[in-house]
Amino acid sequence: MIRRSLLVIALVVVSSAALAQNTQLRRPSSNDNGDACHGDAHRFCQEVFPPQKELEPDPFKMLACLQAHRARLSRGCDEMLRNKGV
């Protein structure tokens, strides 16, 4: 369970880091597991992102935020979290 949670957290951090490097935003698809929660994270969890764009959000706060908004998450994000045991 902890291993799966850490994997999900790592995926959220990686997708956030990729966004910081990418100047053109794109809507994640449910087929792209690394970015499945990218849009939801930005839609529901803005308060988790630090003001400095070069810093990454706290992965535990991000996971908690996504779980708090579980009923409103996109199908792809919800499915990815369920597949990871979260």
> What would the pLDDT profile of 12-43 be if each residue is shown by its tens digit?
666 665 555 543 333 333 344 458 899 999 99
Mean pLDDT value of segment 61-76: 94
Q: What is the pLDDT of residue 13?
A: 65
Residue 70: pLDDT over 90 = yes
Q: Which has the higher per-residue pLDDT, 75 or 10?
A: 75
On whether the CB atoms of residues 63 and 46 are closer than 8 A, the answer is no
User: What is the distance between the alpha carbons of residues 42 and 59, in angstroms, rounded to a whole number?
Assistant: 14
Task: Kindly report the pTM of this predicted structure.
Answer: 0.59
Residue 54: pLDDT over 80 = yes
Residue spans of alpha helices (H) in 1-86: 2-21, 38-44, 59-68, 75-83
